Each structure stands twice: as C-alpha cells, then as structure tokens.
Amino acid sequence: MNRRLIAIFAGILSIVVLLAACGGNGKDQGKQQQTVIVGVYGGDWEKNIKPILEKFEKDTGIKVQTVSGADSEWFTKLKASNGKNPPYDLLILQPDTIQRGIAANVLAPIDEDQAPNVKKLYRSVQKKLTVNGKQYAAGFSMGAAWNCL
C-alpha cells in the first residue's frame, strides 16, 4: 500500500509540475521552475506526506516546499491572486472547494496529453471535477494515509 500511495502522490505532483510548465508569459518558464509549492493540511497529514514528497524530490530533482493550512485560506489567496501568479502550484482540496475554484476561474484544467495517467482515474469520481469537458483535479481517497509508513 505504501508504494501505491507514493505513486499516487508522485503522479499528482507530476501533474502540478506539468501545469506549472504551461503557465507564465510563454518564455519557457517551465524549465526554470525548480521549486513546487504544495499546500498541505498540517499535523499528521503533513507528517505523513513528508516522506512521499522527499521521494518525489529525490526522483525528479525538483524541490517541494510545503505550506500548511486549510481550504478556506488557500481559496481566499487564490481568489486574491485573480488566477495570476498564484501562491501555490498544487493544493489538495475538498471537492466543494475545487468546484468553487473552477467557478471562480482560479484553477487551471489538467492537460491530459501531459498527464496521461489521469485517464485511468474513475470517471464516476472525476465527473464532479470536470466542467465543459475539462478536468480540473484528480480525485483520490486518503483512507489509507494513516498507514502510509
């Protein structure tokens, strides 16, 4: 189960890196990005995700900076950024916050050509994270996170 959880998070973080590469003013900023900023819930959640993020750093050479907080704080900061130069590259949000982010136009859709594993996710779950044929998040379950180490 530990390897599977690591693979899930590595996949999610890979999506973020790919999305970050798509942003900016078109001057190949994706290759310059060396740090990915990830919003994580604090406490045990942050403690349990740390080894997964460390493995991602080791495997990719990309540094991961975590910012602990909660959905309401992250959403407020995203709205304040007006979708330009957001303070985070990846947020692990509750489904209702994802839907609010889509409606507020502060989330970028996932480019399935650059993140092909997204196509393997359960479509029944992904329906709530898709608008006008564009998928904005990768749904997942954290039921086994307590035992990831």
Q: What is the CATH number of the domain that holds 108?
A: 3.40.190.10
The answer to the question of residue 95 being in a domain is yes
Q: Quote the pLDDT of residue 84.
A: 80
Instruction: Show the domain range for 78.
Output: 2-142
Structural domain count of the chain: 1
Is the confidence at residue 147, as pLDDT, over 80?
no
Among candidates 48, 5, 52, 15, which has minimal Cα distance to 129? 15
Could you give the angle at which helices 71-81 and 95-103 cross, rounded to 10 degrees? 10
Measured between alpha carbons, how far is 115 from 74 in angstroms, rounded to an integer? Answer: 24
Average pLDDT of 48-62?
90
Q: What's the token pair of residue 149?
A: 């180490």
What does the mean pLDDT of the chain come to? Answer: 76
Model's pTM, two decimal places? 0.67
Measured between alpha carbons, how far is 19 from 36 in angstroms, rounded to an integer? Answer: 11
pLDDT digits (tens, 9 = 90+) for 56-101: 899 989 999 999 999 999 999 989 988 788 898 888 888 889 889 8
The answer to the question of residue 17 being in a domain is yes
